[in-house]
Structure formats: structure tokens, C-alpha cells
Chain A
Amino acid sequence: MVFLYVTLAVSVGYLVTALSLGAPIAENGLTPAFFPILVGGAAIVFCSILIVQALRAEPEVAPVDEMPRYTHVWVVVAIFFYIVAFKPLGYFLSSGLFVFALILLFSKFEKLVLKAIISAAIVGVAFVMFQQLFGVRLPTLWG
């Protein structure tokens, strides 16, 4: 439901912005506002249908023994900081930390040295692939 409410809010915001672009029809022709107004309106209709359907549906009983997992949230945080650090820290350092963090998130907090070695190997292989094989310029700490 939260997702639907957020989508509805975004759709309403989109429609308001579309309306601010001007009149949808001018001189027998469609303006840049017409299509977004149409799409925004359709999105609101679909959102409303789904919200009504969800409100009418029987509330689902969540299993008691299952704890919610937030690993995906930590993955998003890791990717965010990786992007922020990508240019300032350079490819090797930022990628090494990122891959190491992700391996830890997808496994248990053990055998850290082995996982650090695997991370370094992955970053090295990816570097060879991107920079040497495909000629992509990757940022480095030393400029």
C-alpha cells in the first residue's frame, strides 16, 4: 500500500507539473503539455483502481516467525556511497571496499581475509576487462 500511495503522490505531482506547462491544445494542434497530462491522468486512474482493490482485499496475515530482511536497503546504501566515492577515491579503492562490503552483506561475517582477497581479485579482473580489454577510462586516486 505504501508503494501505491507514493506512486499516487508522484503521479499527482507529475500531472500538476504537466498542467503548468500550458494549455494542452492550441491552434488545432497538441502542445508539449498534452501527452504528459494524458499519461499523468491515466497513472492516477490506475493508482486509484489499485488502491481501491487493495482496500477491498482481505488483509494478509504476515507469518509470525519471519523477521523482515533489510539487506536490500544496505545494498542501496553501499551502492550510493560507492558512487559518491568512485571519482574521489578512484576505481581500485572504492571498488575494493564496495565489493568487500557486498560480499559481507550476501554472506556471513567470517573468513574476512579470504573475502578481502576475493574482492581484490574481482576488482582486478573487472579493471582488466573494462580498461584494458574495452578501453574504458576509469578514475584513479593518482589522477
Chain B
Amino acid sequence: MDFIVLVFSSFSLLADPVNFTYVILGFVIGTVFAAIPGLTATLAMALLLPLTYSLSVETALMACASIYMAGMCGGSITATTINIPGAPSSMMTALDGYPMQQQGKGALALGHAAMGSMFGGAVGALLLIALAPFVAELSLLVKTTGKFSLLAFALIVVVIAQRGRIPQAGLAACIGLMLATVGLDAMEPITRFTYGYSSLTAGIDLMPVIIGTFAIAEVLTQASARTDVIAAAAAASKVKIRRRDFLPPLSDIRKIGFGCYFKSCLIGYFVGTLPGAGGSMGSFLAYTETVRTSTEPETFGKGNPKGIAASESANNAVCGGAMVPMLTFGIPGDPITAIMLGVLVINGIQPGPQLMADQAGLIAPMLAALLFSAVVLIPLTLWLIGPYFIKIVSVRKDVLYAVIALLAVVGSYVATYSTFQMFMALGMGVLAFYLRRNGFPVITMLLGYILGPNLEEFLRRSLALSNGDPTTFFTNPDSLFFVALTLVFVYFLVIRNPAKPLAAVKTE
């Protein structure tokens, strides 16, 4: 209860002009990056990560929260108007949004997307605020062996969730784990894989890994791609939208129904709590559930606002869900929470069971900003500057990617003022580019890198405590719970429904 009070009292921090400016700026940047096909809010956050050094922790986390929320709803803009989802989480929105656009109801579709996003974001944030303290208390029951099993569960789920490309995901996770082992050993004063380079003794820094993986790899991907953004810009320039067209009529909202919104929010929230699942999985499941339970399933994919509401409610509710494992266990649910974890770690905050008890004051403003972004900024910004958002895709590609490359490379210099980190970011960018190009999910590499040190440490500690007896993972109740949970996921994702690529599922 104290935490809930703390979060709501943190709204006063938004009255501070500096905090308010960064929240608004974060929201606009997140929306712009999510709306431009090829760019993501993850990239926006990766580029802004170095700048968090100069901000207070609270302000940095509040800006991150608003980028996150904006990133989930911004993708619906181009998904609806030009049938190109700005973000993967808006793929399902395009199914009904674009047909509505073709029927001349594009602005209304965007209004429904904003309404769904607002509802989903708010419910997700409220659930997070209400449940996170309890999850944190429960997490105190997880001891050393349980922590290893939990981390192993997270990594295994991330790998097997990449259905149809599990070996690729497994290899990517191994590459991440390899990167995590570079440097000084956590338990003994021994350096590993430094090959004589003193710069590597402290290990590979999180900053160049994130900047390389998301920003530099993105620039390289765009450089090698043949996608024609100019055509998208031309299509966008033809779209004429008036401000009043955005407001969905009450009859439409009634027709969609509170149940549809709420069910989609719950699906999104719980999908968000699973490591690696993310917004696209959440919106996909909510959409298919809405179609399954609908009395007129044949109308979906032809411009049914219910499809937009389900998809957008779910992907914004993911924001709240994904923060639960990130804050309570240090396990990021998706790439954006992985970067938020980086912001926490860079600022000396260690996520975990004690975080809610010891440093709740630093976390509460972030949750307040998350709720604020959902309730106020989504409908407000869409109404105020919605008609101009669609012009975002007209930004010159050459200038855009030159700016991203400059910010990425200089940003990686900021952490240590050494060019070594810049070279590391370039190396990580090239690695991530080739991983993406060959169908390897880079999120599993990133999670392998992030979870690797703790995974190794808890494995060694567990076995040291049990005198080398590996059955300790099956005899301790907390560990056994996560082992059983892992087996359940393996059964449902690998054995019962094996190697079915997500893309194939979506087209069914």
C-alpha cells in the first residue's frame, strides 16, 4: 500500500518543468521513432542511453517510461495509414486499421488505436503498481538455487519462444553468454578471454553492446536494404486527416465493449511478464482471442474497430507486464526493458527483490510517468499533432541515418571518453547486423549477455552450497517450481506444437 501511495505522490514530480519536459520529449521521440518504418522506440532509447548520464535517475527513468509507452502506440500510425507497421507490435493493428483507412475512416481507426493504447497502457501500469510489491515480496522466497533456475527458465523461454528457429535462438543466446564471460571472473581473481588486452579486463560494457546491437546494426541494415521509404513518404503525403475525425463515437466504444478492452489488457499484461515475448506476441494473442470469441469473426481483417482495440490494448498493457520481471528479478521482458535495466545499472541501482523496499523512491516516478503517458499523452498528442504524425515518414532517409550513426558512435564515447568503446560498439553492430541478416534473434543474444553473469554466479554458488550435488536444483522447492515451469513451457511450445514459426501462425 505504501508503494502505491508513493507512486501516486510521485505525480508531483511531473510538475517540475525539467521532468515534465523530458517526459514530453521522450514521448514525442518514442512516437516518431515508432511511427517511422524501420526505426523503433528501442533504437530511440539506445541512442538516448548515453545521455542519461547527465540526468538524475528519476528523470532518466521517467523519460524512458514515456518512450516505452509511446513506442507501443506510435507504430499504429503508419500501420493504419500506409499499411506499414512502424513497430512489430502494431502488425495486428494494420489488419483492420488499413482497411478502415481505405474506407476513408483512417482517422477514426487511429482514434480507436489511441483509445485502446490508453486503456491498455493504463491498466498495465495500474496492475504493475498494484502487483509489483507483492511479486517483490514473493521473490524474497527465491534463494540461490531458485535464482539460477529462474534465470535458466527465462533464457530457455526466450529461446523456445522463437518457434521455428530455436537453434538460431540458442546460438544467439550462446553468443551473448560468451560475451558475458569476457573479463574478470566474478568469484575468483582470474581474467578470461581478454587475450592480453587490459581494456577487456572489466568486461564488455553494456553501453556499446546496446548501441551496437540496436543503433549501428539498424544503420547497416538500412544501408543494405532495398526498401523504398520514398514510396511510403509519397503515400503518406496523400493522406488528409482532420483533428475532429480522431474521436471515436461512444456507440463504437460500446460496441467494442469493456470486456474486449479488459481481456486484451490482461492478455497483454501477462504476456509482458514472460521474458522475450514482447508486444507483438501480446497483440497477436489478444487479436486471435477477440476473433475467436466474436459473434461475427468474418468482419475481422476488413476494418473492424474491435480488432484495433484488442491489438492496441494488449501491446500497451505489455509495458506494465514487462517491467515486473525487470524490476523484481533483473530479467528484462523485451529489448526496451533490457535498455531500461541498463539505465538502472548504469546509475548504480541493482534490480531485484530488495529494490522495492530499498529504492522505491527511485522507481515510483517511473511508474507514475508510465501511467501519465498512457492516460494523458496518448490521446492528447494524437488529437493535437495527429494530423502531422503521418508526415513523419517523409523524413529524408540519408539525413535520418547519418544522424542516427553520429549519435550512436559519439554516444558510445560518452561512457568512458575512450575510443575503445566506440570500436566495441562498431564490432557489436557488425555482429548484430550479421545475426539479424541470417535470421538470428538479437534479443536472445542480448538476454544471454545480460543474464550470463548472474546465471554463472548462481550456478557456481548453488553447487558450492550443495558440495557439488546437482540434485539440489530438484530438491529445493523454489528451484523445483521454476524447473517445473520450464518443463511446462517446453511441453507447450516445443513438444505439443513443435517448430511452428510465428509468421506461419499469424497467417492462419
Contact = CB atoms under 8 A, between A and B. Distances in A.
B204 to A, nearest CB: 14
Contacts of A87: 419
A140 interface: no
B424 to A, nearest CB: 10
Nearest to A54: B438
Contact of A83 (B423, B438, B459, B467): B423
A50 B185 contact: no
Interface string A41-65: 0110011011001000000000000
B434 A3 contact: yes
B454 to A, nearest CB: 11
A31 B181 CA distance: 13
A47 B54 contact: no
Interface in B445-503: 455-456, 459-460, 463-464, 467-468
Nearest to A53: B167
B381 interface: no
Interface string B174-212: 110110010001011010110000000000000000000
A21 interface: yes
Given A79-B426, A86-B422, A134-B53, A32 B175 contact: no
Contacts of A11: 174, 178
B59 to A, nearest CB: 12
Contact of B223 (A53, A72, A98, A133): A72
B51 interface: yes
A108 to B, nearest CB: 9
B407 A126 contact: yes
B459 A79 contact: no
A115 B467 CA distance: 67
Contacts of A84: 419
B291 interface: no
A43 B178 contact: yes
A135 B193 CA distance: 35
B370 to A, nearest CB: 24
Nearest to A136: B414
Contact of A82 (B170, B171, B190, B409): B409
Contacts of B43: none
Contact of A122 (B187, B399, B433): B399
B265 interface: no
A36 B192 contact: yes
B455 to A, nearest CB: 8
B405 A75 contact: yes
Nearest to A118: B399
Interface range, B side: 35 or more
A89 interface: no
A116 interface: no
B401 A102 contact: yes
A118 B464 CA distance: 60
A30 B459 contact: yes
B224 interface: yes
Contacts of A40: 178
A80 B402 contact: no
Q: Per DSSP, are chain B's interface residues mostly helix, strand or loop, or mixed?
A: helix
Interface in A77-93: 79-80, 82-84, 86-87, 91
B324 interface: no
A119 B406 CA distance: 11
B178, B192, B422: residue with the most chain A Cβ atoms closer than 10 Å:
B178
B226 A134 contact: no
Contacts of B222: 106
A56 to B, nearest CB: 13
A4 B171 CA distance: 10
B468 A28 contact: yes
A29 B422 contact: no
B256 interface: no
Nearest to B51: A134
A17 B193 contact: yes
Q: Which of B398, B403, B406, B438 has the most CB of A within 10 A?
A: B406
Contact of A46 (B174, B403, B455, B460): B174
Given A29-B468, A35-B456, A106-B223, A83 B426 contact: yes
A28 B187 CA distance: 15
Which of B53, B224, B405, B433 neighbours the largest number of chain A CB atoms within 10 Å of its CB?
Answer: B405
Contacts of A79: 216, 405, 409, 426, 429
Contacts of B288: none
Contacts of B456: 35
Nearest to B423: A83
A9 interface: no
Given A118-B399, A130-B410, A39 B167 contact: no
A126 B460 contact: no
B175 A35 contact: no
A43 B406 contact: no
Interface string A97-108: 011001111110
B378 to A, nearest CB: 26
A50 B440 CA distance: 11
Contacts of B193: 14, 17, 36
B354 interface: no
A35 B401 contact: no
16 contacts: A17-B193, A36-B181, A36-B192, A42-B170, A43-B175, A72-B223, A74-B223, A95-B410, A98-B405, A102-B406, A103-B398, A106-B397, A106-B398, A118-B399, A126-B407, A136-B414
Query: Which 4 A-B pairs give the minimum distances between C-beta atoms?
Result: A106-B398, A28-B468, A43-B174, A107-B398
